[in-house]
Structures are given as C-alpha cells and as structure tokens.
Structure 1
Amino acid sequence: MILITGATGHIGMAVVQQLLTKITPSQVAALVRNAAKAAPLQDLGIAIRLGDYDDPAALERAMQGIEKVLLVSGGGDEHGLQQHYNVVNAAKKAGVSCIAYTGRALQERDSLANELMVRHFQTEDYIKASGLRYVLFRNILYMDTLPQFVGPAVFESGINLPAGEGRVSFALRRDMGEAIANVLAEGDCENRTYTFTNTGTYSFADVAATLSELSGKEVRYMNLDDETFAANMKARSVPESVTRFVLAFMTDIKHGQESTVSEELEQVLGRKPASLKEGLETLFAL
C-alpha cells in the first residue's frame, strides 16, 4: 500500500488521481489532518489515515501496514524541517520499506537566496542517512505559480518583477504529479533521484509575450530593481515578510537556480509536458 501525505493538497491530489489509473483504490492510503476534507477520497475507496507532521505518534500509527510513503514537502512553517524529519522517523519505526520525497530542482544549494529552499536538500540528506530505500523527486518551480507572481492585473499593468533575464523550466503541477504517480506505481525505489522539469526554459519576457499572444492584449515585462519592487509592494500594503520571500525567489531565478533542464519528466510521462503556451492557456482560461 502507498501512503500519500498532503493528499488533499494540489500536488498530493494530482498524484492520487494518477495512481488510481494505475492501481486499485485499496492500494492507496491518504494521510490527512481533517477527515471531513478527505471525504471525496474516502468515497473513491481510498483508506484515510489521520496524522499530522507535528505528531510523531500519529504518524507512526498512520503508517502501519504501509509499504511506501510519499512525503509531500510541507509549507513554510518555522519548524518545517523538523516536520519532515518526523515523517522519515515514523516511516522507519513503522517498518516502511520505501520513502519518496517531493523536493526541488535547483542548481546549487550553497548559493540560494531563498533559504527556505535549503530545507529540501537537508531533507534529502536526512532520508539518505536514514537507511530507508528512497526515491527523490526534484521538481522545478510549478508553472501554476505564475498567476501569483504576475498578479491579477497582469493584462492591465504588465509583469513588473526583479527577475532580470533569468530563465525557468516551468512545468505544470499536474504533469509532475502524474509522473510521480507513474514512478510510485511501477515500484521503482532503488535510491533514485528524478529531476522533473520542462524540456526548455522560459523568461518572464517569454511569459509576457505568450500572454500577449493568447489574450490579444499587449503585456510587457518590466525588469525592476529590488528597491523599486519592494517600494511597489509596500504601496500595496503587502507584508514585508511576503516581499522578502518573493524577492528571494526572483533573485534565485535571476541567478539561474531554476534553469535546470532534464528529459526525465518527458520520459516518465511518455509524452512532452505542457509547454508554456499550453500551460498559460489553462491557468488564465484563455
């Protein structure tokens, strides 16, 4: 049986949906904090296991009888790394034979501006040291984040970000979820690392040009300096912590951290992942 953590979230749900095309519902379990929210999964015949990344005992109970666990990385909680450690520890205590993890496809851990991303490498290190067999999924920045980065008024005010000419091999979350499920269903757990990216890279100028083409409206990309961007965010009453977080993402993009290109996503999907144009058409309903 395969246990999916964060099963009611975006990537968790994408994995579950694809798994159900490969294996029976009785072979899938979902770790959730809220049983009511997981009712649709239960209706599909998926076993619901209650647990929380902060509760090691509950995690260990939830993993009884589980062969393989997919640890979907947590959010930005201050103690998020310890939460990951708790899941790995519980898997080991429960006798789980394989742990998989959704990390990030980044170029260089030692020069990241976004310190939160370092947790992914630290979690990978912990998994490797645990003695458990593992599969690591290094996912590129989800294309699905673009509406948040460019803002709701993108067709009126354009894209105004301090990302320079940085390029990202954006891929849709659903494509990566599908690929993760394919690997889990096929049973590969031989201490393997997969790097899931699109087959090419895109700049925010490319995003602007593609939105212009799809919408028939001119969308321009303005490369701002950090100070101007921060001032714009302050004028919109955006919390300073959010501004720092976005700036860290943009700095890493500017420095090429998100520019890795791998063919593994295409290979595991058995088709090309959605292009920037195909993805934006869906994300912006164009």
Structure 2
Amino acid sequence: MILVTGATGHLGRAVLDTLLQHTAAHQLAALVRDPAKATDLQARGVSLRVGSYTDPASLAAAMPGIDTVLLISGGGDDDGLQQHQNVIDAARQAGVRRVAYTSRALQDPGTLANELMVRHFQTEDYLKASGLGYILFRNILYMDTLPLFTGPTVLETGINLPGGEGQVSYALRSEMGEAIANVLLQDFTDSRIYHFTGAAAYSFHDVAAALALASGRPVVYHDVAPEVLAARMRERGVPEVAIGRTIGFMTDIKHGQESLVSSDLAAALGRQPTGLLEGIKQLYQL
C-alpha cells in the first residue's frame, strides 16, 4: 500500500491521479490535514489518513498497513527539517519498507545561495541513515514557476530578473507527478536516486524568445541587479522572506545550480517531457 503525503497539493494530486489509473484505489492512502479538501479522493476509493508533519502521533496512526511512503517536501517553515524527520521516524517505527522523498536536482548543494534548499539534502542524509529503503526524486525547478517569476505583465514589460546567463532544465510539475507515480508502481528492492529534469536547459533569453514566439509579441529579457528586483517586489507589498527566497533562486540560477540535464524523467514517463515552447503555451494560456 502506498501513502502519499501532501495529497491535496498540486504534486500530490498529480501523483495520485496517475496511481489511480494503474492500481486499485484500495492500495492507496492519502495523508491530509483537512479531509474536507480531499472528499474527491475519498470518493474515488482512496483511504484518507488525517495527520500533520508536526504531529508525530497522527503520523504514527497513519502508517499501519503502509509499504511505501511518498514524503512530499513541506513548505518554508522554520522547523521544516524536523517535520520531514517526523515522517521518516514514524515510517521506520511502523515497519514501512521504503520512503520516497521529493528532493531537488541541484549541481552543488554545498554552494547554494537559497538556504531553504539545504534542508532537502539534510532530509536525504537523515533518510539514508534511517535504515529504510529509499527513493530520492531530485526534481528540477518546476516550469510552473515561470509565470510567478516573470509576473503578470511580462508580455508588456519583458522579463526583468537577476538570473544572468544561467540556465534551467525546467519540467512541468504534472509530468514529474506522473513519473513519480510510475516509479512507485515498480517492484524493486534496492534504493534509488532519480534526477527529474527537462531534456534541455534554457536561459531567460530562451524563455523570452519562447514567449515572443507563442504570443506574437516582442518579449526581451533584461538582467537586472538583485536590488532592483527586491525594490520592485517591496513596492508590490511582497514579504521580505519571500523576496529573500526569490533572490536566492535567481542567484542559484545565475550560478548554474539548476542546469543539470538528465534522461531519468523521459525514461520514467516513457516519452520526452514537454519542452519549453509547449510548456509556455500551456502555462501562459497562449
């Protein structure tokens, strides 16, 4: 039986949608904080386990009968690492066979500007040391983040970000969810690491060119200073913590952290992942 945590989030639902296409619903469980948000999953036959990463007792109650846990990484809480450790501890104590974790595909974890990303690799280390079987899904930056980074007026103002000439091998979150589900359905006993990325890496110049081609309008990328982006975000009332994390993402992109390219996603999907232009058309509704 597979337990998917974070089941009402975008990635969790993408995983469950694929799992439900290929296995019986009674073999699936969903960890949710609010069952009212998962009534559709329950209606499809998925067992709901109510719990929270911050509540070890609820996690212990969610584990009986589970063979595999998919631990979808939490948000930016200060105790995020402890939350992940709570899930791993509960799985180990319940005799779960393996834990899969959604980590990050980054070139050099030791030189990250975005400190929030460090906890992914700390979680990896904790999971490896737990004695459990493990699957690490090291995922590249979602292509779905592009509209958030470029802003709603990108077709009028162009892309104004401090990403330098850095490249990212973007992939769609939905395809990552599909690929994760495909791997979880495989019966293997060894621990594995997957790097889920797109088939090519793209700069913001490439993103601008794709937007221009898809929209029929001129779109240009301007490499601005981090201070310029921070000031513009403050004008829009963005919290300082979010500004800092965005600058961190951009700095890591500039330094090539997100440029890893792997064929693992294509292999797990059984096809090439969606490329930049088609992804842009979907995400920007062009």
Same fold (TM over 0.5): yes
TM-score by length of 1: 0.98
* Secondary structure in structure 2 of the residue aligned to 1:84: helix
CA shift in 2, pair 1:70/1:240, >3 Å: same
Deviations 1:214-263 (A, max 9, x none): 01111111100112222222233322222111100000000000000001
Structure 1 residue ranges (4+ consecutive) displaced by more than 3 angstroms after TM superposition: none
What is residue 238 of structure 2 aligned with on the other side?
238
> What stretches of structure 1 of length at least 5 have no aligned partner?
none
Q: Measure, in 2, the Cα distance between the counterparts of 1:236 and 1:5.
A: 33
What is residue 249 of structure 1 aligned with on the other side?
249
Q: Measure, in 2, the Cα distance between the counterparts of 1:259 and 1:190.
A: 28
What is residue 64 of structure 2 aligned with on the other side?
64
What is residue 154 of structure 2 aligned with on the other side?
154
What is residue 206 of structure 2 aligned with on the other side?
206
Task: Answer whether contact 1:134 1:189 (CA < 8 A) is retained.
Answer: no
Correspondence 1:123 to 2:137 = no
Superposed displacement of residue 79, structure 1: 0.4
Q: Measure, in 2, the Cα distance between the counterparts of 1:191 and 1:160.
A: 42
Equivalent residues in 2 for 1:157-172, closer than 5 Å: 157-172=157-172
What is residue 29 of structure 2 aligned with on the other side?
29
What is residue 178 of structure 2 aligned with on the other side?
178
Q: Measure, in 2, the Cα distance between the counterparts of 1:148 and 1:189.
A: 39
Task: Answer whether contact 1:158 1:219 (CA < 8 A) is retained.
Answer: yes
Deviations 1:45-94 (A, max 9, x none): 00000110001111011011101000000000010000000000000011
Q: Measure, in 1, the Cα distance between the counterparts of 2:11 and 2:190.
A: 23
Q: Measure, in 2, the Cα distance between the counterparts of 1:261 and 1:132.
A: 28
Equivalent residues in 2 for 1:1-286, closer than 5 Å: 1-286=1-286
Q: Measure, in 1, the Cα distance between the counterparts of 2:278 and 2:3.
A: 31
Superposed displacement of residue 188, structure 1: 3.3
> Partner amino acid for 1:88?
I
> Partner amino acid for 1:268?
A
TM-score by length of 2: 0.98
Q: Measure, in 2, the Cα distance between the counterparts of 1:78 and 1:216.
A: 43
Task: Answer whether contact 1:35 1:48 (CA < 8 A) is retained.
Answer: yes
* Secondary structure in structure 2 of the residue aligned to 1:20: helix
